Structure 1
Amino acid sequence: MNVSATLLVQELKLLRKGRGISATRLGQRVGPALRQVCQISDGEDVAEIRRKVTDRLHALIAPLPADLNTVVLAAMGLHEQARNPFYQERVHWAARKLNRDDRTIRRRIDEGIEQVAELAFAPDPAARPGHPSRSWHTESLRVTLSLDQPVPEAFEFRRIIADADDITELDLALTLTASAGQTGSVGYDDLQVDVFHGGMLVGRAMESSDRVRLTLKLPAPLRRGQRHDITLRFRAVLRYPHYVCVPRHPVDSFELHVRFARPVPWEVRRLDKAFQEDAKNPSVIGDVLSPDASGEVYTEFHDLEPGFAYGVRWCPLDLADAITSAPAGHLARNEAVDEGAVPAVEGRGQAAR
């Protein structure tokens, strides 16, 4: 039977009803277009059909823009935070998530489904634009940075998507930027790494005087389109007052929580698509973030572009007087910040490759 993108759109709109991918009689709702796209053979049981449809849809939805990615995953019952038993409930969840009304979400779901169907019948899905990495990319990155600990800690929760088959290792990295006037290179003892979930650390190497490369071995090889979650903890002596993610390849979303020690900083600035070196430059400013009653700030970014910095920079209270009284033009120089003041950590977001 000849199938088309139009037929696949119809089948996906049928699949999203009720429990979506978790429907009990899934085999009866998977039509000829889905069977061809997902390479489902006659006689396969429901569990295998569910696995194949799930993996293929994840791969087709992954390159969509962030908003369409979220709403289509929710519509199909594939989003881990939207496993509600009814389609309308999943629409409500997506509306709250994106701060839009239900009607807008339904339109975006239809738009996303049409794009999924187009990608499914593209001549070479592996070569589609969106993620230049042919190995893996980051779907979501959540970092919680605690600066009120004896040694600052950053917990990283990352979900990656395999863009090729047989992905067995992830290359991760973290840069500790030296403050002005600081001498000496970063050593292994300056960075402690603990793997809480998702793999085993099998390699560490210095890529530069301040950049540590980490190799994480996965529990099992990933197939293209398959998702995998990892949880890491980084502990490091603070060296400079900012924390940024500088991805090598696209990152769909990045959420950052920072908990400051008391007293909270004099000023906290959001850095959005800044040049990496500009992240350290006090003359480059972004939106002001105000710590809450717990001394915390939160910000998020979407569709991060490789090579740019996304995160926050802060100015401790004990530097406020020096900065406000500095001569004109002095703040543009990194030397304006007293090297003996509270330093901080720069995280390159364990840059997605």
Structure 2
Amino acid sequence: MAQEAADAKINTLSTELKLLRKGLGVQAKNLPGVVGEELRAVCGVREDDSPGTVRAKVVTRLQALIGKLPESQRETARIVLGFGTGANERYTARLELLGTGADRNIRTMQRRADDVIYLIAEAAYEAPAAFGASPVISRGPWHTSALAVRLSLAGAAAEVFETRRIVSHVAGLAEIEHGVSLARPASPAGEPELSGLGIDVVSGGEVHSVRMVSSTRVAFRLRPPRVLDAGDQHEFFFRIRLEEMPAPFYCCTPEFPCESFELNVRFDRREPPQRIWRIDGDLSKDAGDPVPARKPLFLDNAGEVHTSFRDLQPARSYGVGWQPAP
């Protein structure tokens, strides 16, 4: 019976994703209005979420799920759902991109699209690995199983949408310690408030014990809606608004291990960077250094770059750096 229920959820989500991929896919203006109930649940969408929040949650969650697919399927999944394609490329046009060489039979391409949609739905209900299965993940009271970040740049200002799913290692985990680096030194009078620092916890729990641990880093505790047992998963989502980026790079430097990190950076089309590169496991003090040779990244037609990381190690930095336009 449990397997039948799981199969039913996967099939329902597959149907909803097929509806979502029509037209412009994730780039459609009416995206928040076509998100089905199962997909809303998978993405942690609440009834009182604004359309912009719904879009951010759906996009970041789908990117994280695509990152869980076999590498050979990820690009197909991105094309099918409309990630990184032209702003006006509808589903039928994107479907043609799946054809390779002489293999351009429409039924074959449709079958490939349907297969990858099912794999995405299946990944949404994938059980977490057994606690203790990996020596890397066994450290700490919890680890991050999936982190998805969308960074949007507009002039000097920036906005960050972060969705993080953690897995508890202990029984009775009632609080999750978290921290965020700020753009500039902050000196709030009295106890700081996240909203005053440009940080909004949109969903996933109650925040308390906000404190500055350095002039540029704020820490807080997140209390999930229920106490977590070993192996339980919990997802939370928050937004950060920065009046000015502190430096031309964005990184995740985890305190505890992280299984996967999906990062999408949307640059200001009016001032595209001269070059962009991938930061992969650098020491934190070297993350912002533009001198070391690194893998180059390139803007797509939407002015975005997307990259992903697996098995992030604590105290190492992973992300994207860029050389601003002169």
Change (3 A) 1:93 1:20: farther
What residue in structure 2 maps to residue 242 of structure 1? 249
Measure, in 2, the Cα distance between the counterparts of 1:146 and 1:23: 36
Q: Indicate which of 270, 275, 291 corresponds to 1:267.
A: 275
Measure, in 1, the Cα distance between the counterparts of 2:179 and 2:220: 6
Shift of 1:95: 9.4
- The letter for the 1-side match of 2:316 is F
Gaps spanning 5+ residues in structure 2: where?
10-64, 71-111, 121-125
Change (3 A) 1:195 1:176: closer
What do residues 49-101 of structure 1 show as CA deviations (whole Å, max 9, x unaligned)? Answer: xxxxxxxxxxxxxxxxx99x878xxxxxxxxxxxxxxxxx9x9449966xxxx
- The letter for the 2-side match of 1:148 is A
Query: Normalization by structure 2: what TM-score?
Result: 0.57
Change (3 A) 1:132 1:207: farther
Gaps spanning 5+ residues in structure 1: where?
1-13, 25-65, 72-88, 98-111, 120-124, 179-184, 319-353
- Alpha carbons 2:132, 2:138 under 8 Å: kept: no
SS in 1 for 2:286: helix
Question: What are the within-5 Å matches in structure 2 for residues 213-292 of structure 1?
Answer: 213-236=219-242, 237-261=244-268, 262-292=270-300
Measure, in 1, the Cα distance between the counterparts of 2:271 and 2:134: 49
Q: Indicate which of 158, 168, 171 corresponds to 1:165.
A: 171
- The letter for the 2-side match of 1:211 is R
Question: What are the within-5 Å matches in structure 2 for residues 47-86 of structure 1?
Answer: none
What residue in structure 1 maps to residue 215 of structure 2? 209
- Alpha carbons 1:133, 1:249 under 8 Å: kept: yes
What do residues 89-134 of structure 1 show as CA deviations (whole Å, max 9, x unaligned)? Answer: 9x9449966xxxxxxxxxxxxxx99xx7xx7xxxxx6596232334
Measure, in 2, the Cα distance between the counterparts of 1:163 and 1:287: 34
Q: State the superposition RMSD in angstroms.
A: 3.6
Q: Indicate which of 315, 318, 336 corresponds to 2:323.
A: 315
- Alpha carbons 1:266, 1:315 under 8 Å: kept: yes
- Alpha carbons 1:271, 1:285 under 8 Å: kept: no
1:175 and 2:189 are equivalent in the alignment:
no
**Overall identity of the aligned pairs, in %:** 33
Measure, in 1, the Cα distance between the counterparts of 2:69 and 2:229: 21
SS in 2 for 1:277: helix
Number of residues of Structure 1 aligned to a counterpart in Structure 2:
216
Measure, in 2, the Cα distance between the counterparts of 1:70 and 1:298: 15
Shift of 1:214: 1.9
- Alpha carbons 1:134, 1:164 under 8 Å: kept: no
- The letter for the 2-side match of 1:286 is R
Shift of 1:154: 0.3
Change (3 A) 1:231 1:168: same
